């Protein structure tokens, strides 16, 4: 038997009453399902300082560095100039360019003994297009790092021919003031101890 109009009305009223009564119970409940999209919840802890021994990246980086001099020299027709020299952490292994051309040799010395030596290619000759295919730079600037396993007081900068490493032109620079200023704050480090004679 089909329900009468009054019966349908009564059923509708009863269902609405049940839903209204259930609203307080369902309040705050998030329905579960793939169609529900919510903002991601991210929780982080408070930052804490990392001990030097636990900082693996810095430990490995520092292991490859040592105190040394970072110097910039300028070679010009008027001669060799020391433009700047400052103490900083530099690679332990000095740079030695594999070159057959002219070289710039920069040595650090302590009590007239060589402490470290860097050999770089002299950028005097540049390859260019056109007739001849080369041009000479009269002025060039080179920056290098010189490790200091022992105390240094002097820099020697020389220009060497391709045949050997005997400088055809050289100049001496006193860097004792720069080194002494550093050693005043780093007394006892290897870079501030004189080289022991053999």
Highest mean pLDDT among 1-10, 28-37, 105-114: 105-114
* Nearest to 85, CA basis, from 129, 34, 145: 145
Q: How far apart are CA 106 and CA 47, in angstroms?
A: 46
Domain ranges of the chain: 54-192
Token code pair at residue 158: 């020389």
pLDDT at 17 over 70: no
Q: How far apart are CA 35 and CA 19, in angstroms?
A: 22
pLDDT at 26 over 50: no
Q: What does the pLDDT look like over 76-134, one tens digit per residue?
A: 989 999 999 999 999 988 887 776 678 899 999 999 999 999 988 888 766 555 565 56
Q: Is the pTM of this model over 0.75?
A: no
CA distances from 137 to 34, 79, 181 (A): 70, 14, 36
**Nearest 5°: CA angle at 150, between 145 and 155?**
50
Task: Classify domain 54-192 by CATH number.
Answer: 2.60.40
Stretch among 23-32, 146-155, 188-197 having the lowest mean pLDDT: 23-32
Q: How far apart are CA 198 and CA 91, in angstroms?
A: 25
Say which residues have a Cβ less than 8 Å from residue 196's Cβ, sequence separation at least 6.
150
Q: How far apart are CA 168 and CA 150, in angstroms?
A: 28
């Amino acid at each position: 038997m089909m329900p009468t109009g009054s019966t349908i009305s009564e059923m509708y009223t009863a269902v609405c009453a049940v839903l209204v009564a259930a609203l307080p119970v369902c309040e705050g409940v998030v329905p579960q399902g793939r169609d529900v999209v919510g903002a991601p919840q991210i929780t982080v802890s408070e930052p804490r300082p990392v001990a030097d021994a636990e900082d693996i990246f810095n430990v490995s980086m520092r292991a490859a560095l040592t105190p040394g001099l970072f110097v910039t020299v300028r070679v010009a027709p008027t001669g060799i100039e020391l433009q700047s020299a400052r103490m900083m952490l530099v690679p332990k292994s000095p740079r030695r360019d594999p070159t057959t051309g002219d070289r710039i040799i920069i040595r650090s010395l302590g009590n007239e003994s060589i402490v470290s030596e860097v050999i770089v290619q002299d950028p005097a000759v540049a390859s260019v297009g056109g007739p001849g295919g080369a041009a000479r730079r009269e002025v060039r600037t080179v920056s290098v790092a010189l490790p200091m396993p022992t105390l240094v007081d002097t820099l020697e900068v020389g220009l060497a021919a391709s045949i050997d490493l005997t400088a055809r032109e050289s100049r001496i620079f006193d860097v004792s003031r720069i080194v002494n200023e550093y050693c005043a704050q780093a007394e006892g480090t290897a870079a501030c101890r004189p080289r022991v004679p053999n």
